[in-house]
Amino acid sequence: MRRYRSSLKTAIKTGELIKTAVFAALLCAAAPFSVPVGPVPISLATLVIYIAAGVLGRAQATLAVFVYILLGAAGLPVFTGFSGGLFKLVGVTGGYILGYIPLAYISGSAGVGAREGASSLSRAGAYIAAMIIGTAALYAIGTAWFMFISGNSLFGALAVCVLPFLVGDAAKIAAAAVIAPAVRRGLRGLLS
């Protein structure tokens, strides 16, 4: 019995690592495709992070983002526009890339970790609220860094770094609120 429990724990940990690696790979595959909108491009990175947070929870989603950032910093072309390298992290969009870490952590705090006994509606509400708060943290870090590097005023930075993204990020949050629970249920069925 003890050997069975040990094997089960190892399988669970292996499964968690595989899911984390898959979401890091999805992030690496989605983020380079971007649409330039001024100095900060629109990408699918935030959508993948929202979904990862809802499926994996805060620790694993944050780890997946951290792996993505390390791969990009090492020079792999996983950042927007198929770029990579440390120069991207210290450039005008570097704050947004680093802001993905608190985005994943905050958004994931209501994902998998939501109480299973709570109603589906309250879990969905908590997940959406966590994604909104995480996005606000992403905007704050990214915009502050953008202002520091570019010398823009707060209002100028908000006009080019936040306002053009509000509607798109709201749509991504709505999509993730539907997609993540479905993926989580699918994985639960697959792994059981």
More confident residue, 9 or 77: 77
Does residue 10 register a pLDDT over 80? no
Is 60 exceeded by the pLDDT of residue 92?
yes
Mean pLDDT of 92-110: 95
Q: Is the pLDDT of residue 108 over 60?
A: yes
Percent of the chain's residues with pLDDT above 70 = 86
Quick one: which of 150, 155, 53, 157 has its CA closest to 110?
A: 53
Q: Which domains does the chain have, with CATH numbers?
A: 2-185 (1.10.1760.20)
- Determine the average pLDDT of the residues in 82-86: 96
Residue 118 has pLDDT above 60, yes or no: no
**CA–CA gap between residue 152 and residue 146 (Å, rounded):** 8
CA distance 92 to 148: 9
pLDDT digits (tens, 9 = 90+) for 170-186: 999 999 999 999 998 88
How much is the mean pLDDT over the chain? Answer: 89
pLDDT tens across 38-74, in order? 888 999 999 999 999 999 999 999 999 999 999 999 9
In whole angstroms, give the CA distance from residue 131 to residue 141: 15
3-state class (DSSP) for residue 83:
strand
